[in-house]
Amino acid sequence: MSQRQGFAGGFLAGAIFGGIVGGLVGGAIMSRRSKNLEGDNSSLLEPGEKMSFETEEEMEKARRSLENKIAQLNHAIDDVRQQLGTVNTNGSDEK
C-alpha cells in the first residue's frame, strides 16, 4: 500500500513540476518569437506587389493569379491524396 501512495505523490509532483517547466519554456519561446515577428510584414502577396486595385484590369489580373495559385494547391493536394491512397492500399495488403 505504501508503494501506491508513494507513486501517487511522485506522479502528482512530477505533473506539477512538468507543467511549470513546460509553461516557462513555452513562454520564453513565444516571447522570442513575438519579438522576431514585430518587424515582419508577411503577407500572401509576392514581394513588390501592392494591394491597391485602381482598374478593372488590375483586379482581373489579381483574380487570375489567385485562381492559378488555388489550382496549384488543388493539384498538390490531389497528388498527396493519391500517394496516401497508394500507401494505404499497400499497407492493407500486408495485413
Strands (DSSP E) contained in 23-80 are none
Residue 46 confidence (pLDDT): 55
pLDDT mean values, one per 10 residues, the chain (95 residues): 69 90 89 69 54 78 92 92 78 52
pLDDT of residue 18: 92
What pLDDT sits at residue 84? 86
Alpha helices in the chain (DSSP H): 2-37, 56-94
Q: What is the pLDDT of residue 95?
A: 46
Q: Do residues 53 and 59 make contact, with C-beta atoms less than 8 angstroms apart? A: yes
* C-alpha cell, 27: 513562454
Q: Could you tell me the maximum CA-CA distance found in the chain, to the nearest angstrom?
A: 80
